Chains A and B, each alone.
Chain A
Amino acid sequence: MTPTRKKRLSIVMLILVGVGTATAIAVTTMNDSILFFVSPSDVAAQSFPVDRRIRLGGLVADNSVQRASDSLAVQFAVTDGTNAVDVAFTGILPDLFREGQGVIAHGRFDTYGVFQADEILARHDETYMPPEVMKALEEAGHTIEASME
């Protein structure tokens, strides 16, 4: 091999090793930070591990929101029309959070089967429905027009 070729080869090797390492690390990190989406019907169908953070989506059930009188704790139910899951959260809810609207909650199930949310997402457009929630509602046989007005 000529010196130039050797140099080129070493550069190519360097790049390959670098990209390879980065990809390997990316895949492992991603495994830890992936959130699986579940609908209330998924929850009813199978039990979910207590230790894994998941992404729960559906509609906030009517007349289900209960606030504590002395703290920011709040409890409500997330439904897909067929099943419902109790969700507990402490903190400030997004502006568009309201009964009958689509919502996504990140968190874990506790040992009592209550979903302990650490993050609540409601989107910034009245007519917008998160795609996963839309799909979950469809699968549960819920009419979407009604929920979207």
Chain B
Amino acid sequence: MIPELGQISLILALVLATLLATIPLYGAWRNDERLMSLAPSLVIGHFVFALMAYLVLTVAFINHDFTVTYVAMNSNLLLPLAYRLSAVWGGHEGSLLLWILMLAGWMLAVLMFSRALPTVYRTRVLAVMGMVSIGFLLFTLLTSNPFERILPGPPDGQDLNPLLQDPGMIFHPPLLYMGYVGFAVAFGFAIAGLLGGKVERDWVRWSRPWTLTAWAFLTAGITLGSWWAYYELGWGGWWFWDPVENASFIPWLIGTALIHSQAVTEKRGAFPAWTVLLAIAAFSMSLLGTFLVRSGVLTSVHAFANDPERGLFILAFMTIITGGALLLYALRAPRIMTGEGFDFVSRETALMLNNMFFAVSAGMVLLGTLYPLVSDFMGWAQVSVGPPYFSAMFILLMTPVVMLIPLGPMSRWKKDGLGRILKPLLISAIVAIVLGVAISAWLGAWNARAITGWIGGLWLIFGTFSYVRNALRGRRRGLPRHQIGMIMAHAGIGVFVIGVAMVSSGTIQRDIRVEPGQTVEMEGYRFELTDIVSVKGSNWIADEARFIVYRGDEELYTMNPQKRRYHRSGQVMTQVALRPGFTRDLYIAMGTRLDDSSNAWSIRIHIKPFVRWIWAGALLLALGGLVSASDRRYWRERRVEARQPGQSGSGASTGDEVPA
């Protein structure tokens, strides 16, 4: 009986979402307080029922209720509890349920933390988000019902894909979805602004912390996914330009442009229409990402068996949402406020360049991701676009970004001189070049990529900190949080750049045949394979290689990679052995048994320099986003600031208000 409760909860959530998207919206239009006052209880009810549906499915997993098809497909009696809990979102239907729960959660958060918003405006935001929720609830109920039954249920279930039976995978989808769905808030704010007939600095300020938070989650989610791919897929790569990775990366790129353009629009009122457009684009790209992942139209490591009908539904839904938003935009854009002018050398220009590079990058990734689809659809040829395209584009487009980032915060609004901006950065530039060359020489990484990577990374770090010195001059209090966040994020990119340059230029990889007793020497490390044994886990058995790693005569570690076979599905999985370090990772993965008599295996050994820096830098980015979002400026005194619109435009004063 319990699974039916989940189904009923979903239907009730749909009813409430439909009410939310219509009645309070009408009230907002008619300025009817009574109708608008329905919104809060509808949002709460919507959340409660979404949560209930989610909990019901969770209970079905805990109790091994195999009469529920989704549970039978993704779990079995041997699956440990932690993975049964994460299996709730391990498949398509459940991950949609998670999506809905998160959307409901974001709506609840908007309700709770935006009390200072004018009621009409807040009602519109919630109603727009309600519309999005209708789409996803319908999608779930009509095409991907997680509560579907098979009666009588099988005695045991299939298995959660072994790739997903991993701690990294527990958190990757929820974080990613938090980001995806979070852009629905920025979308809601933008549409609500358009519906109200005017786009003002105020709504941009109100939506900034939400956009920042969503962006931070998305950053963290992508980072976690990259880290997971690194140790779980057994190839030792951290980014593959896989279509589904791209699907999460495109919203990230647009989101990055959005948080910067919001800064300009809020502070100076410049390019408001563009900001609205980016908010629409960021969420549309999140929907496109869902479409690409779930429709099975792409060949990808993520493309598990899928259903094209679902893809069609999302495509139709996306057309309605994006098309409707763009139509509204076209009708209302002429009424959007006009911004103040600015000089060629100014912070506005710096941020415009940022937006240009990020928007073009997003376009390039989109082009490379969709081209195979278009080509196939048009009947030209079946093609795939490989990593060389993406890498070349990225190096081309991101090099200027890296060079320009430290200049942005240094510049003043409205009008500035190039000399004034560059002067304090001169020392950072010189130090970065000298130190970059010196470090590369000292590490023996004497190649163009490593050297430019170090110089670029150090330039970002020192350039950012020379801004801190400048900003702190003559200030008694510390820096406000939104600036601290910005500093963390920009420095984080520096760390990331160094990591990428070192990994791509200095990775040493060998695929070799090894028998027990043999030793492999690489880069001063000796890897001795002592034995290959059989080990057992709760739902798998494995061959485990026992390696001892020496440096000179000193014994450093033991490393035990495994080749697992999962009982239920019979699927074979590589379990990598890793020794992470500040300056390098040691990485061993087992291939296949080559010879039964000598017990020889193919083994892959990597030494990856500075690979941790990639994720450390990306995490700094995410943290920076959260710190910025937590700035009190966004959360308090809204009413006060709203009443004094002239206050924030302090003209060409020192650049101490900084885009986060």
A residues engaging B (CB < 8 A)? 4, 7, 10-11, 15, 18-19, 22, 25-26, 29-30, 32-37, 55, 67, 69-72, 90-93, 95-96, 104, 106, 123-128, 130-132, 135
B382 lies within 8 A of chain A by Cβ: yes
A114 to chain B, nearest CB (A): 20
Interface residues of B in 189-240 (CB under 8 A from A): 233-234
Contact A29 B299 (CB under 8 A): no
Given A37-B383, A132-B382: A123 and B389 interface contact (C-beta under 8 Å): no
Report B377 CB to chain A, min CB distance, Å: 12
| Apart from A34-B389, A126-B571: 4 A-B pairs, beta carbons within 8 A | A7-B341, A19-B360, A35-B384, A69-B594
* Residues of chain B contacted by A92 (CB below 8 angstroms): 511, 589, 591-592, 602, 604
**How near does chain A come to B498, taking the closest CB pair, in angstroms?**
25
Contact A26 B384 (CB under 8 A): no
Residues of chain A within 8 A (CB-CB) of B397 are 22
Chain B 286-306 residues near chain A, CB threshold 8 A: 296-299, 301, 303-305
With A and B bound together, what is the CA distance between A131 and B303 in angstroms?
10
Within 8 Å of chain A (Cβ to Cβ): is B356? yes
Cβ–Cβ contact A37 & B382, under 8 A: yes
Give every chain A residue within 8 A of B341 (Cβ-Cβ).
4, 7
- Interface 1/0s, chain B 568-591, versus A by CB < 8 A? 011111100000000000000101
User: Is B466 among interface residues, defined by CB-CB distance under 8 A?
Assistant: no
Contact of B352 among A11, A33, A72 (CB under 8 A): A11
Q: Which applies to chain A's interface (DSSP): helix, strand, loop or mixed? A: mixed
Interface string of B372-383 (1 = CB under 8 A from A): 000000000111
Answer whether residue B29 sits at the interface, using C-beta atoms and an 8 A cutoff: no
B168 within 8 A of A: no
CB distance from B126 to the nearest CB of A (A): 36
17 A-B pairs with C-beta separation under 8 A: A4-B341, A15-B356, A18-B356, A22-B360, A26-B364, A29-B388, A32-B388, A35-B385, A36-B383, A55-B383, A71-B513, A72-B602, A92-B511, A106-B386, A126-B569, A128-B303, A135-B382
A19 partner residues in chain B, CB cutoff 8 A: 356, 360
Q: Cβ of B511: which chain A residues have Cβ within 8 Å of it?
A: 72, 90-92
**Contact A128 to B381, CB < 8 A, known contacts A29-B389, A33-B389:** no
CB distance from B563 to the nearest CB of A (A): 8
Q: Chain B residues near A132 (CB, 8 Å)?
A: 299, 382
Interface residues of B in 544-578 (CB under 8 A from A): 569-574
Q: Which residue in B233, B305, B356, B360 is a CB contact (below 8 Å) of A128?
A: B305
Decide: B388 and A72 in contact? CB cutoff 8 A: no
Cα–Cα, bound, A18→B355 (Å): 12
CB-contact partner of B297 in A18, A32, A35, A131, under 8 A? A131
Question: Which one, A25, A70, A104, A126, contacts B393 given CB within 8 A?
Answer: A25
Q: Nearest CB to that of A93 among chain B residues? A: B592
Interface residue? B396 (CB, 8 A): yes
Contact assessment for B356 and A125 in the assembled complex, using a CB-CB cutoff below 8 Å: no
With most chain B CB atoms within 10 A of its CB, the pick from A4, A36, A106 is: A36
CA distance A55 to B386 in the complex (A): 11
**Which residues of B have CB within 8 Å of A96?**
571-572
Whether A95 contacts B574 by the Cβ 8 Å rule is yes
Check B371 for interface membership: any CB of A closer than 8 A: yes
Contact with A along B161-177 (1 / 0, CB 8 A): 10100000000000000
Known: A11-B352, A22-B360, A26-B393. A33 touches B385 (CB 8 A): yes
Question: Which of chain B's residues have a CB closer than 8 A to the CB of A18?
Answer: 356, 360
Task: Determine whether the beta carbon of A124 is less than 8 Å from that of B163.
Answer: yes
**In the assembled complex, which residues on chain B have CB atoms less than 8 Å from the CB atom of A125?**
161, 304-305
Partner of B299, one of A10, A36, A130: A130
CB distance from A88 to the nearest CB of B (A): 15
**CB of B583, distance to nearest CB on chain A (Å):** 26
Residues in A with CB closer than 8 Å to B298 are 131
What is the distance, in angstroms, from B454's C-beta to the closest C-beta of chain A?
26
Q: Kindly state whether residue B512 has any CB partner on chain A within 8 Å.
A: yes
* Interface presence of B367 (CB below 8 A): yes
- Report if A30-B368 is in contact (Cβ < 8 Å); known contacts: A72-B513, A92-B591, A128-B305: yes
B232 and chain A: residue at smallest CB distance: A124
Tell me which residues across on chain B come within 8 A of A4, comparing CB atoms.
341
Residues of A within 8 A of B589 (CB): 92
Query: Smallest CB–CB gap between B486 and chain A, Å?
Result: 24
Task: Find the A residue at minimum CB distance from B371.
Answer: A30
Question: For the complex, what is the distance from the CA of A69 to the CA of B371, rounded to whole Å?
Answer: 42
Q: Residues of B contacting A93 with CB < 8 Å? A: 591-592
Contacts of A10 in B (CB 8 A): 344
Find the B residue at minimum CB distance from A25: B396
| Nearest chain A residue, comparing its CB with the CB of B571 | A126
Whether B385 lies near A30 (C-beta < 8 A) is yes
Task: Considering the complex, give the chain B residue whose CB is closest to the CB of A38.
Answer: B382
**Cα-based distance from A32 to B304 in the complex (angstroms):** 29
User: Given A29-B389, A71-B513, A95-B573, do A37 and B297 touch, yes or no (CB 8 Å)?
Assistant: no
Cβ of B392 under 8 Å from chain A: yes
Cα of A26 to Cα of B363 in the assembled complex, Å: 10
Q: Which residues of B contact A126 (CB under 8 A)?
A: 569-571
Cα(A131)–Cα(B589), bound, Å: 29
B595 at the interface (CB under 8 A from A): yes
